[in-house]
Amino acid sequence: MMSQHFRNAVVDTALVGSVVLLLLFFYAPIVTLVAFSFTSSRVLTFPIDGFSLQWYGELIRKPDFFPAVINSATVAAVSTILATVLGTAGAIAWIRYRFRFQNLFRVVTFAPLLFPQLLLGVVMLLWFSVLGNWLDFSTGLATVIIGHVVYITPFALVIVAVQVYGFDETLEDAARDAGASRWEVFREITFPLLWPGIFSAAIFAFLLSWGNFYVSYSLSGTARTLPIFVYSGIAVGSSPIYPALATLNFIPALLLVGLAEFMRRRALKRQNAAQPVS
Amino acid sequence: MKSQSKTWNDPVLVAAVAPLAIVMLVFFLVPLAMTALLTFQTTQYYRLQWTWDLTIWTEIFSKPHYWTIMLRTVGMALICVVISILIAFPTAYALTTRLKTYSAQIQILIIFAFLTDAVLKTFGWILVLDRQGVANWLLSYLGLGPEAMDILFTPTGTMIGMVYNLAVYPMFTIYLSLARIDRDLVLASYDAGASRIRTFFEVTLPLSRPGLYSGAVLVFVLSLGAFLEPKVLGGGTSPLASELIRQSFETRVNWPLGAALTIVLIVIGALTLALAAAFVFRRTPAARRELA
């Protein structure tokens, strides 16, 4: 008979192994892109011929992707601000208040998360086209921003809601007892305590918008964001400039994700340390 | 935490609710209604005619072509759910029980992979799955495949991409469910003499059901709209519903048709959601209590 110890060891190894396999799976295309960005060959076959930085040079020499970067950055910046503000207000209403039609509010504000992005984009495209016929405008960056806000706000809402959920409201009571006005309570107590959640939500929102393809594809009209630039590029044929572009794309994203998680965890630790043992 | 009752006379409540409610109303609910309305219109010479007829719906219900593709889409979605759950459960379980020290770092890595540009990642899969790509090189290096495997531009390629893009959702819902399980319940089960395996199947697994179900539903609903994967990795050989929708807009310029196909997919998704909600509601008393 197998000993208990041996069996436990097998289970442990299998479980840890599953995480390792998952990470390998998740990073297979990402690592491959980074590796291919340093190829010296024009054809993208493995194993890679030799090391070179020529495709990064090519990117600098032929910066036709640059307008797309500007568009993506504009869209991401504006959508991030709108989605984070709306998401924060929504999260407070979700968790802290009780009001009539609250369930309806919850369903409607959560629903875009359950929508395939393509369908969300199509539904909004139809609306903007009909509206555009009446009011004489066509889809462009502004409609992309609206689409991103609708898609991303539920994500921001959920992230901030987690922070609101762990919120210690006695601190607000204390401030109010000490004579602070409503606005002062919000500025001095509520906002600083929710800030880590809001910050993570903003980072999340920025990256979701920056990398968004589906919603932009439906709503951008003739304007191009970076994912659309890459999509129309790879539809024509693969070229080694895309791995280089991808690698440049990964570095700031990884830093931002790391920073957001670090902030969130530090705040959580502080919160737990500050709370009395119950 | 306690929550404050508020009435609609309170400006604070209006300020918190109104902006988001208006955005969702004007840019989500109204467009949905509009889409439903458009399915009863027709097109002539690529221009929309405002009428009220059932041409589009009779076309959709009378042509098996649409339903073959819809059925394939649902089938792919179901396979995607099964594979995603099989991948997500063990990893979420390992993160809550075995790898607690590194759990934060691993989660950052997963979130980063999830948040990165989907087009670039899908392009990365081309380089991995290509005949002369990394996967085939690795297989022949290990001496496993004398001939190159054709994965790219097949439904298998599509499936790999779909699982890749969606497996994160059940990972997080299951992780949250597992993390909330009271450790004392597990210990009590051991005390009562149950083996680890029995405890897992009779305590841990039933308690993780909400995460399991919600993760499964998320993957199913979201995979109904998969577009990049069949297009880029599937090579367009066996198109899914998304391709039909794209064609009806871009190639045929038939908005009512595209709107109707969109509505069909939304109805399939909504029915699944309703069914799953009823199921979870019936099976887990905890969920019922929470909702009450």
Domain membership of residue B42 (yes or no) is no
Between chains, do B227 and A149 touch, taking CB under 8 Å as contact? no
Between chains, do A105 and B242 touch, taking CB under 8 Å as contact? no
In angstroms, rounded to a whole number, what is the distance separating the alpha carbons of residues A102 and B111?
30
Q: What is the mean pLDDT of each run of 10 residues along chain A (278 residues)?
A: 75 87 92 87 75 83 88 94 94 87 90 90 91 86 94 94 82 86 85 87 92 91 89 82 88 82 76 61
Q: Which residue of A has its CA nearest to B5?
A: A98
The pair of structure tokens assigned to B231 is 């297009």
**Structure confidence at residue B146 (pLDDT):** 61
Residue type, B4: Q
Domains in chain A: how many in total? 1
- The number of residues making up chain A comes to 278
φ and ψ of B44, to 5 deg: -140, 130
**Structure confidence at residue A186 (pLDDT):** 83
Buried/exposed code over B76-114 (b: 16+ C-beta within 10 A; e: otherwise): bbeebbebbbebbbbbbbbbbbbbeeebeebbbbbbbbb
Domains in chain B: how many in total? 1
Domain membership of residue B54 (yes or no) is no
**Structure confidence at residue B291 (pLDDT):** 47
For residue B175, the domain's CATH number is 1.10.3720.10
Read off the DSSP letter of residue B254. -
Least Cα separation, residue B62 to chain A (angstroms) = 23
Read off the DSSP letter of residue B4. E
Closest CA to A129 of A143, A116, A145: A143
Domain membership of residue A56 (yes or no) is no
The owner of tokens 């990394």 is B134
User: Strands B4-5 and B42-44: what pairing?
Assistant: unpaired
In angstroms, rounded to a whole number, what is the distance separating the alpha carbons of residues B69 and B240?
6
Q: Which residue of A has its CA nearest to B219?
A: A114
**Structure confidence at residue A278 (pLDDT):** 44
**Structure confidence at residue B292 (pLDDT):** 41
Range of the domain at B180: 63-291
The pair of structure tokens assigned to A16 is 């840890």
Q: Which residue of A has its CA nearest to B231?
A: A235
Domain membership of residue B172 (yes or no) is yes
Domain membership of residue A149 (yes or no) is yes
Q: What is the mean pLDDT of each run of 10 residues along chain B (292 residues)?
A: 74 86 93 90 75 84 90 94 94 86 84 88 88 80 71 88 93 89 84 82 85 91 91 83 88 87 92 83 56 44
Between chains, do B6 and A97 touch, taking CB under 8 Å as contact? yes
Between chains, do B27 and A122 touch, taking CB under 8 Å as contact? no
Residue B229 near residue A102, CB atoms below 8 Å: no
Domain membership of residue B22 (yes or no) is no
Domain membership of residue B131 (yes or no) is yes
The pair of structure tokens assigned to A260 is 């957001």
Residue B196 near residue B189, CB atoms below 8 Å: no
Contacts of A188 (CB under 8 A, 6+ apart): A175, A180
Between chains, do B137 and A117 touch, taking CB under 8 Å as contact? no
Q: Which residue of A has its CA nearest to B125?
A: A29
Long-range contacts of B283-288 (CB under 8 A, 24+ apart): B283/B209, B284/B206, B284/B209, B284/B210, B286/B207, B286/B210, B287/B210
ipTM: 0.86
**Interchain CB contacts (distance < 8 Å): A and B:** 274
- List, as one string, the DSSP characters of B143-190: T--SS----TTSHHHHHHHHHHHHTHHHHHHHHHHHHHS-HHHHHHHH
3-state SS track over chain A: CCCHHHHHHHHHHHHHHHHHHHHHHHHHHHHHHHHHCCECCCCCCCCCCCECCHHHHHHHHCCCCHHHHHHHHHHHHHHHHHHHHHHHHHHHHHHCEECCCHHHHHHHHHHHHHCCHHHHHHHHHHHHHHHHHHHCCCCCHHHHHHHHHHHHHHHHHHHHHHHHHCCCCHHHHHHHHCCCCHHHHHHHHHHHHHHHHHHHHHHHHHHHHHCCCHHHHHHCCCCCCHHHHHHHHHHHCCCCHHHHHHHHHHHHHHHHHHHHHHHHHHHHHHHHHHCCCC
* B164-213 pLDDT tens trace: 999 999 999 999 888 888 888 888 888 888 888 888 888 888 888 888 98
Provide the sign of the torsion angle of the four alpha carbons A173, A177, A183, A189, taken in this order: negative
**A33: nearest CB among B32, B38, B124:** B124
**A124: nearest CB among B21, B31, B222:** B31
Domain membership of residue B230 (yes or no) is yes
Between chains, do A97 and B110 touch, taking CB under 8 Å as contact? no
In angstroms, rounded to a whole number, what is the distance separating the alpha carbons of residues A46 and A113?
38
Between chains, do A19 and B91 touch, taking CB under 8 Å as contact? yes
In angstroms, rounded to a whole number, what is the distance separating the alpha carbons of residues B88 and B81?
10
Residues of A in contact with B2 (CB under 8 A): 169
In angstroms, rounded to a whole number, what is the distance separating the alpha carbons of residues B269 and B218?
10
In angstroms, rounded to a whole number, what is the distance separating the alpha carbons of residues B125 and B52?
46
Domain membership of residue B140 (yes or no) is yes
Range of the domain at A238: 64-274
Domain membership of residue B160 (yes or no) is yes
Q: Which residue of A has its CA nearest to B19?
A: A86
Least Cα separation, residue A128 to chain B (angstroms) = 8
